[in-house]
Structure 1
């Protein structure tokens, strides 16, 4: 049965911490899954959480630390000394250990690494810290099982047993040559059923999907999704096998990227949480709000240029929110589809085909909405020319907004800028200005002011 955290249970844990009743605390916590313990720690104060981290065995708390919120983890680690952090690092896979150390201040990082007794483990962590955190090298773990193509089947089994002690979960067995270059993968079934005197070269599978240490996380995710992989090997510039990215790591990466893109689309310029401080939240939101303010002032400036029109046709003023809203909505819809296509690599058609599709879609939607405006004008006894003006403006605005929403993300993507930036206030603000300008310019042409 799945563990369910309750208020009474949390209060019980808090009381045991206050009483320093370690025996009963261990009795309550040791049998729980590390994810459940992390959930409990989220409900406790920093001092209470630190007390429990220090109480439990490192093999348990190492996993707990990776489950708790990043900001909470940072605070807990600040309450631990270098040796205590190193003890936790010893129990982690290299990718998780590198993530933890990367979060520490630089002066603490070296001290923690110096306190790691397993020097091979420390060396692997240092290697991972060299890579960009959003690349295959930054996502990979060094723990894996690899065998040499020249080994015998019997010798291979012995070596695998030795390597398996450091691997939490075996997804694949990789085959390398004498220089460590990736040659293929080994099926456990083929290994078990092969004659004892056979060599790995006789039974391994040469076809294997892999990525380079500098491959982006997005590309790693795309390849793993396309080929339904639970793990993918990572090679260096010389083709040598240096690690593997597993499905749990790539799922975490996808979730973090989705959160960042969602916040960017909402006009938040950095990764923040609801419980972050006022300064951090302000710094994340204010830049885009300033952009929105500038866009609004730009729209005011455009309207001032047509002040004579507003004197003669005051009814036009009441349609400006409608025009701005339609421009923003269409632009966000178009850009969202393009950003999604760029993210999952489903945008295969040419720019001309995309242009033709957006123009056709804009015409269909624009004509339909324009006709509805004409019906509204007829029902409300709006002057016919004004109805025509608003209808033509909506059609024009939808076409322009769709094109902006389509091509801005593509241009940003080609220039190496995250296209998710286009789905937020950037598109909305720019389309508001263009929309209002088109509305009054078309009004001038039709109404003749």
Structure 2
């Protein structure tokens, strides 16, 4: 790990200016791919491209995958298809290679695939590209150790050694056991491999009925399975149970991080994925829609309040509690929706338990509403001396908290059923709706009590 300081960058820029390739190569050789990617972001585009071409093939591939999406896209545009095929794709695992090729346009994809010398590798990539990227098939890789259930232990060990060398695997998580039809039958723990060297057949020591996912399962199902069973890798099978790939924990963590980023941005009122490095137009397009909706909500509130102008004229103190009503409703709604969204995301809240969750949330909101409205009632009773406002604010607050809590529970569940990301319910949608409904409740109750 290095500390990228101004002095360090200046030193590299000087070496690049002098074209001191030997020293640059020596420096780059000592750096982790993630550190080289960080340097790429600090250097000028021309200089970063220069040092990239000095990397050995394996590190060049790893560095490309470490770059953020925008920088990687820029670099891929500058690299010829033959370079991408022979110096990058050839040194990546199949799942990473597929992710990279997905970022290319169709014509470039075909050119890159045509330059891959290993026909079997190219075929694997083409097969993986057919899967939707949001499914287990789109996330899996094909590098794995596979043995037959009828092999003897010595034969198994020999085949494992050969496969590990052919696949150039750095890490072996599990050894998968299949039958003669390539159907997954079990997993062979390395501990059993060591402690049972003379067993006649693998099927006598393997762990049967392994946990699997199917190629068309969603990424959310993959994440939930790995989390539930504390796995570091997960086999993927097709519709008839044939082993076709595996998903590792690092791939899942990348997907979880990206999903959390998307959900956080969606909950913040950003309609699409954006980065700090994105241009002004992209960021504006992502942020403006919900700002406009919020503005319309604000105008709607002003129309509602304008309809009760005479009430404000009779008792101006009513206006003092508008922020309290709106803010409390928004906060309660976001709390309720956040709990439901989290439960739906980690599968702790089952769809068949919707009624139970609504009842539970109603009891919680009843308790919260009673306490909040009582506190506000006591405060107003001793400070305002106006019984009508004291009563209307307390009753309105009680009703708003009840509505916001139940609304915040029902909306994400409804969105989930409609196949819309429920994270939308934790953002401006809940806040704006609760604000408008809260004002209507407050104005109606106040007008009734005042009259």
Which category describes the TM-score, using the shorter chain as reference length? over 0.9
In the superposition, the TM-score normalised over structure 2's length comes to 0.96
**Preserved CA contact (<8 Å) 1:46 1:75:** no
Determine the C-alpha separation between the residues in 2 that align with 1:176 and 1:204. 11
2:367 is matched with: 364
Candidates 213, 217, 232, aligned match of 1:215:
217
2:266 is matched with: 264
Q: Any idea what SS the aligned residue of 2:401 has?
A: helix
Task: After TM superposition, give the deviation of residue 379 of structure 1 in Å.
Answer: 4.2
Task: After TM superposition, give the deviation of residue 374 of structure 1 in Å.
Answer: 2.1
Q: Any idea what SS the aligned residue of 2:234 has?
A: strand
Q: Any idea what SS the aligned residue of 1:147 has?
A: strand
2:37 is matched with: 38
1:111 is matched with: 111
Q: Any idea what SS the aligned residue of 1:245 has?
A: strand
Task: After TM superposition, give the deviation of residue 197 of structure 1 in Å.
Answer: 6.2
1:398 is matched with: 401
1:178 is matched with: 180
Q: Is the aligned partner of 1:225 residue 2:227?
A: yes
Q: Is the aligned partner of 1:418 residue 2:417?
A: no
Q: Which runs of structure 2 are paired with 1:17-96 in the superposition (5 Å)?
A: 17-86=16-85, 87-96=87-96
Q: Any idea what SS the aligned residue of 1:24 has?
A: helix
Moved more, 364-373 or 258-267: 364-373
Determine the C-alpha separation between the residues in 2 that align with 1:239 and 1:182. 6
1:429 is matched with: 432
> Which aligned runs of 4 or more in structure 1 are off by greater than 4 angstroms?
none
Determine the C-alpha separation between the residues in 1 that align with 2:93 and 2:255. 17
Q: Any idea what SS the aligned residue of 1:340 has?
A: helix
Task: After TM superposition, give the deviation of residue 88 of structure 1 in Å.
Answer: 0.6
1:443 is matched with: 446
Q: Any idea what SS the aligned residue of 1:83 has?
A: helix
Determine the C-alpha separation between the residues in 1 that align with 2:392 and 2:364. 21
Query: What CA RMSD, in Å, does the superposition of the two structures yield over aligned residues?
Result: 1.5
Determine the C-alpha separation between the residues in 1 that align with 2:199 and 2:433. 71
Task: After TM superposition, give the deviation of residue 375 of structure 1 in Å.
Answer: 3.0
Moved more, 422-431 or 42-51: 42-51
1:389 is matched with: 392
Q: Any idea what SS the aligned residue of 1:107 has?
A: helix
1:275 is matched with: 277
Candidates 361, 370, 376, aligned match of 2:379:
376
Task: After TM superposition, give the deviation of residue 191 of structure 1 in Å.
Answer: 2.2
Determine the C-alpha separation between the residues in 1 that align with 2:199 and 2:428. 67
Q: Is the aligned partner of 1:163 residue 2:167?
A: no
**Preserved CA contact (<8 Å) 2:37 2:66:** yes
Task: After TM superposition, give the deviation of residue 56 of structure 1 in Å.
Answer: 0.6
Determine the C-alpha separation between the residues in 2 that align with 1:360 and 1:251. 36
1:123 is matched with: 123
Moved more, 116-125 or 89-98: 116-125
Q: Which runs of structure 2 are paired with 1:284-323 in the superposition (5 Å)?
A: 284-323=286-325
Q: Is the aligned partner of 1:145 residue 2:145?
A: yes
Determine the C-alpha separation between the residues in 1 that align with 2:378 and 2:369. 14
Determine the C-alpha separation between the residues in 1 that align with 2:443 and 2:425. 25
Determine the C-alpha separation between the residues in 1 that align with 2:50 and 2:184. 45
Determine the C-alpha separation between the residues in 2 that align with 1:354 and 1:189. 45
C-alpha spacing 1:373/1:163, structure 2 compared with 1 (3 Å): same
Task: After TM superposition, give the deviation of residue 44 of structure 1 in Å.
Answer: 1.3
Which whole-Å deviations, capped at 9, do the CAs of 1:260-288 have from their partners, x for residues lacking one?
00000000010001121111001101111
Moved more, 321-330 or 402-411: 321-330
Which whole-Å deviations, capped at 9, do the CAs of 1:334-357 have from their partners, x for residues lacking one?
101110111111125833322222
Gaps of 5+ in 2: none
1:407 is matched with: 410
**Preserved CA contact (<8 Å) 1:233 1:244:** yes
Aligned residues: 447
In the superposition, the TM-score normalised over structure 1's length comes to 0.96
Task: After TM superposition, give the deviation of residue 290 of structure 1 in Å.
Answer: 1.5
Gaps of 5+ in 1: none
Determine the C-alpha separation between the residues in 2 that align with 1:131 and 1:316. 59
Task: After TM superposition, give the deviation of residue 90 of structure 1 in Å.
Answer: 0.5
Moved more, 252-261 or 363-372: 363-372
**Preserved CA contact (<8 Å) 2:297 2:432:** yes
**Preserved CA contact (<8 Å) 2:384 2:390:** no
**Preserved CA contact (<8 Å) 1:136 1:220:** yes
Which whole-Å deviations, capped at 9, do the CAs of 1:158-200 have from their partners, x for residues lacking one?
1111111212210000011111111110122222333546111
Determine the C-alpha separation between the residues in 2 that align with 1:244 and 1:363. 48
1:134 is matched with: 134
Determine the C-alpha separation between the residues in 1 that align with 2:13 and 2:254. 30
Q: Any idea what SS the aligned residue of 2:321 has?
A: helix
Q: Any idea what SS the aligned residue of 1:390 has?
A: helix
Task: After TM superposition, give the deviation of residue 382 of structure 1 in Å.
Answer: 4.2
